Amino acid sequence: MIQISRTGIRNLASNDTVYARGLQYYKENRIVSATYSNAAKQYRMVVKGNYNYSVTVDEQEDGSFDYNCNCPSRLKDQGACKHVVAALLFILKYQERTLMSESKSPEERKVMQVIDYFLAQEDTIMVGETFQLDVTINIPTILKKDTGRAFISLHGGSNRKYKIQTIKKFLSNIYYNENFAIGKEFRFIHGESTFDKTSQAVLDYLLELYEIQEIIDSTHFSKIFSKSEVTITKNMLIKLLDTLHGSSFSLALYGKAYSNVHFLRENPKIS
pLDDT, one tens digit per residue, over 157-178 is: 988 899 999 999 999 999 888 8
Proportion of the chain above pLDDT 90, given as a percent: 44
CA distance 148 to 142: 7
Is 152 a member of any domain? yes
Same domain, yes or no: 169 and 237: yes
Same domain, yes or no: 15 and 39: yes
3-state secondary structure of 164: coil
* pLDDT tens readout for residues 106-149: 666 666 566 565 555 555 544 467 899 999 999 999 887 677 89
Same domain, yes or no: 26 and 76: yes
The predicted model scores a pTM of 0.55
| pLDDT band at residue 63 using 50, 70 and 90 as cut-offs | confident
The domain boundary, picked from 90, 123, 156, lies at 123
Same domain, yes or no: 23 and 90: yes
Q: How many domains does the chain have?
A: 2
Same domain, yes or no: 240 and 220: yes
Tell me what the mean pLDDT of segment 4-25 comes to: 86
* pLDDT tens readout for residues 211-264: 887 776 555 545 788 889 999 988 999 999 999 988 999 999 999 999 999 998
Is 270 a member of any domain? no
Is 268 a member of any domain? no
Question: Could you tell me if 237 and 219 are in contact, meaning their C-beta atoms sit under 8 angstroms apart?
Answer: no
Same domain, yes or no: 237 and 158: yes
Is 271 a member of any domain? no
CA distance 196 to 63: 38
Is 267 a member of any domain? no
